[in-house]
Amino acid sequence: YLRLLRDDDLDVKRAALLSLNTLIHHQHDLVQDALAREILPCLYEASKMKIVRVIDLGPFKHKVDDGLPLRKAALAALATLVDRKAIQDTAQCVDVVAGALADADVRKGGWRLAPALPACPDADDAPLCMSVSRRFFRCSCAALKVAK
């Protein structure tokens, strides 16, 4: 099952991510052994995947991001893991959330993850909390500038 997360077909990878999210939500113990070794690297990779292609529509050009459903599914699975307090390496998750907040297409998923990160097991150290707050403040200020 875990090799489907590394499949070349984007639809297969998306279906594997969605079923992984369901599995984490309902039977978290089944994936606990492979979480840090195999699942989290796949989730971090999928959350940064951008595959943009340009479609020519006569005089117009339209950009389509084929990686958007993968990023959304990966952020949903990460949110489920954070809710279950299953992520031990919060620093890498902070990088993913900061990248999601910078990306306008998946910003909602990043804002869903942001408040839950301090509840993770290793988030009690002060430097990490300061780093998290600085990154989120920068991303929110950038979002406000874009909204004006």
Taking only the tens place, the pLDDT of each residue in 49-64 is 999 999 999 899 999 9
According to DSSP H, which parts of 9-125 are helical?
10-26, 40-47, 68-83, 90-102, 107-113
Measuring CA to CA, how many Å separate 45 from each of 5, 23, 29, 58, 92?
Answer: 10, 19, 23, 35, 11
More confident residue, 81 or 141: 81
How many CB atoms sit inside 10 A of residue 52's CB? 10
Q: What is the number of other CB atoms lying within 10 angstroms of the CB of residue 118?
A: 13
pLDDT for the residue numbered 11: 93
Please give the pLDDT value at position 136.
Answer: 67
Tokens of 111: 């804002």
**Sign of the four-CA dihedral 68, 70, 76, 81:** negative
Which residue bears the tokens 């919060």?
A: 90
Residue 105 near residue 78 (C-beta atoms within 8 A): no
Task: Inform me whether the pLDDT recorded for 19 exceeds 90.
Answer: yes
Q: What pTM was estimated for this model as a whole?
A: 0.80
